[in-house]
Amino acid sequence: MFSGAMVALITPFNNGQVDFDTLDELVEFHLKSGLDGIVPCGTTGESPTLSHPEHKQVIERVVNVVDGKVPVIAGTGSNSTAEAIELTAYAKKIGVDASLQVTPYYNKPTQEGFYQHFAAIAEEVDLPVVLYNIPGRCGAGMTAATIARLAKIENIVAVKEATGQLDISSDIANSCDLTILSGDDSLTLPICSVGGKGVISVVANVVPSDVKAMTDLILEGDFVSARKWHNKLFKLSRTMLSMATNPIPVKAAMAILGMASDEMRLPMTPLTSAQKEELRKLLADYGLSA
């Protein structure tokens, strides 16, 4: 159920407010592209700057537009276990298919703290859980041993691996049967080569069909053909996402392509004019233009 190409959806803004009309258009665009799932309110969706009511409204809007066509994996994590449980319970009530649970940020839990946090959420809310291991954002991350321990809980079904360390993906694959999803676009093919089953993708906001083409080939076992897509996507993914903190560059790219505004909320700030020109050339070289 949770494999293939899934988009880490941006949250569009207009004059400081969530732009729900554009959100609807983006979800429809991704449905038409054939993606295997939609993931609102993750890192790319700027969930830390959404109020709790906005967070819930975005998830509910996505669920309503998707209307059961593909799985919706809603970001409902928090550095507060109680808040994560409350958001996850709400998401279950409105019909999401799974929750994406980020490692608690700022707190820097011990490995036991990580275990107890995710176990409490999974046991409190009967909803499939995708763990999200991203130490670069959170100040700490889970070991493969902790993830394998969590895998014994029935409704913890997958992990989004965004450590940038291929050894961790290999360790997870060798120690449990969780579905491993790439959390780094440039590492999707390598992660899948050691047992991964897809990606929750930032670059799929811009080129969903291309990401889908690659993961379809991966799931068919045709890594030679998939590598051609990897090579095509690599420069776009790596260069765009190294320009500034996500989602600054992908929102800039979407603005250049006329897909959505590049508006964000502080403390996120736009690319410089020079960076935007570099990005415009990168998109044109890939074959994209407004």
Could you report the per-residue pLDDT of 53-111, keeping only the tens digit for each? 999 999 999 999 999 999 999 999 999 999 999 999 999 999 999 999 999 999 999 99
Q: Quote the number of domains for the chain.
A: 1
What average pLDDT is seen over the chain? Answer: 97
Q: Is residue 274 part of a domain?
A: no
Give the pLDDT score at 290.
72
Question: Which residue out of 56, 132, 212, 276 is catalytically annotated?
Answer: 132
Q: Which helix (H) or strand (E) holds 249?
A: helix 248-256
Structural domain of 214: 4-220
- Separation CA 99–CA 39 (nearest Å): 9
Q: What are the mean pLDDT values of the chain's consecutive 10-residue runs (290 residues total)?
A: 95 98 98 98 96 98 98 97 98 98 95 98 98 91 97 98 95 97 97 98 98 98 98 96 96 98 97 97 93
Give the pLDDT score at 257.
98
Give the pLDDT score at 46.
97
Q: Is residue 273 part of a domain?
A: no
- Separation CA 227–CA 220 (nearest Å): 13
Q: Is residue 179 part of a domain?
A: yes
In this structure, what are the phi and psi dihedrals at residue 128, rounded to the nearest 5 degrees? -55, 140
Q: Is residue 280 part of a domain?
A: no
- Does the active-site annotation cover 281? no
Question: Which residue out of 56, 92, 115, 160 is catalytically annotated?
Answer: 160
**Collapsed DSSP state (helix, strand, coil) of residue 3:** coil
DSSP-derived secondary structure letter, 202: S
Q: Is residue 248 part of a domain?
A: no
Give the pLDDT score at 137.
86
Give the pLDDT score at 29.
98
Angle subtended by helix axes 208-220 and 223-242, to nearest 10: 140
Q: Is residue 26 part of a domain?
A: yes
Question: Of 117, 119, 130, nearest to 91 (Cα)?
Answer: 130
Give the pLDDT score at 242.
94
75 - beta bridge partners?
Answer: 100
Q: Which helix (H) or strand (E) holds 129?
A: strand 129-133
For residue 150, the domain's CATH number is 3.20.20.70
Give the pLDDT score at 258.
97
- Does the active-site annotation cover 132? yes
